């Protein structure tokens, strides 16, 4: 199971890369604009920082077939391996996913709002499918649709992996991991909530306090 960080913030990437086993990083155009830096600069930071066994996912910005294909080739050529173009599942995007796979590029189908559009992208060969779990909740049950998608792929023997995205709560991540999802991409604020449970801090403070009271020190020896 792959745990991916959904950010272009290099300091957050370094922080969680030290703490966790990160399988890679996803970005989208909005995430990159939030850095306040030029896109080329952000992309270079990501390429320079990530190990080659960590996956890098960068989204195309053009919305027409030729533009998406040109950007897909550029993105996938940024590193020798494990670099994926994220292509939104519009009509032009679906066409581009099919063509990009025919060229042997690594593709993540993104901006997915239903299990059905994800399934069509899977039939076009997308390596990963990114349902926007929280955004899907505006139209129904985002978690439920994503579980349907996992089941549809398994029932039909289609090999695309689901990388659920757009989480706004730990509960959403939890439910999909429990359902057997292959990958999640989670924003640093939600990862922080998973990592920093207040109960753990309280428990450790209590151990230290009791030890200190009994032995007059805060270390084992």
Name the catalytic one among 86, 95, 98, 161: 86
Q: Alpha carbon 20 to chain centroid distance?
A: 14
Which of 114, 185 has the CB closer to ligand E4P?
A: 185
In the region spanning residues 140 to 169, those forming contacts with ligand E4P, defined by CB under 6 A, are 165-166
DSSP state of 103: T
191 vs 199 by CB, closer to ligand E4P: 191
- Residue 65 CA to residue 56 CA, distance in Å, equals 22
Cβ atoms of 144 and 176 within 8 Å: the answer is: no
Query: Contact between 130 and ligand E4P (CB under 6 A)?
Result: yes
In 3D space, the residue among 91, 27, 36 whose CA is nearest the CA of residue 61 turns out to be: 27
135 lines the binding site for ligand E4P (CB under 6 A)? yes
DSSP secondary structure letter of residue 204: H
The answer to whether 4 and 26 have CB atoms below 8 angstroms apart is yes
34 binds ligand E4P (CB under 6 A): no
Nearer to ligand E4P, 105 or 184 (CB): 184
Q: Is 132 in the site for ligand E4P (CB under 6 A)?
A: yes
By the 8 A CB rule, do 17 and 197 touch? no
Size of the site for ligand E4P (CB under 6 A): 11
CB atoms < 10 A from the CB of 197, how many? 11
CB of 153 to ligand E4P, least distance (A): 19
Interacting stretch for ligand E4P, rule CB under 6 A, among 63-71, 114-122, 130-138, 145-153?
130-138
46 contacts ligand E4P (rule: CB under 6 A): no
Which DSSP letter does residue 81 get? S
Tokens 């189908």 label which residue? 109
Q: Counting contacts by CB under 6 A, is residue 113 touching ligand E4P?
A: no
List contacts with ligand E4P (CB under 6 A).
6, 26, 28, 110, 130, 132, 134-135, 165-166, 185
Residues classed as catalytic: 86
């Amino acid at each position: 199971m792959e745990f991916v960080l959904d950010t272009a913030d290099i300091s957050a990437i370094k922080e969680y890369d030290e703490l966790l086993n990160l399988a890679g990083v996803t970005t989208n155009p909005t995430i990159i604009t939030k850095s306040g830096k030029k896109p080329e600069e952000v992309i270079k930071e990501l390429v320079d920082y990530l190990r080659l066994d960590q996956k890098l996912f960068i989204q195309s910005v053009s919305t027409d077939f030729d533009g998406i294909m040109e950007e897909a080739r550029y993105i996938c050529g940024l590193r020798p391996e494990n670099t994926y173009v994220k292509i939104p599942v519009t009509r032009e995007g679906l066409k581009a996913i099919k063509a990009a796979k025919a060229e042997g590029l690594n593709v993540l189908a993104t901006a997915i709002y239903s299990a059905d559009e994800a399934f069509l992208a899977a039939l076009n060969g997308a390596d990963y499918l990114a349902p926007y779990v929280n955004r899907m909740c505006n139209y129904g049950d985002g978690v439920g649709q994503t579980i349907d998608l996992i089941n549809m792929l398994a029932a039909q023997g289609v090999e695309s992996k689901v990388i659920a995205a757009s989480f706004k709560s730990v509960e959403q991540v939890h439910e999909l991991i429990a359902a057997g999802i292959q990958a999640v991409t989670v924003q640093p604020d939600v990862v922080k909530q998973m990592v920093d449970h207040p109960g753990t801090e309280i428990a450790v403070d209590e151990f230290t306090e009791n030890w200190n009271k009994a032995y007059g020190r805060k270390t084992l020896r």
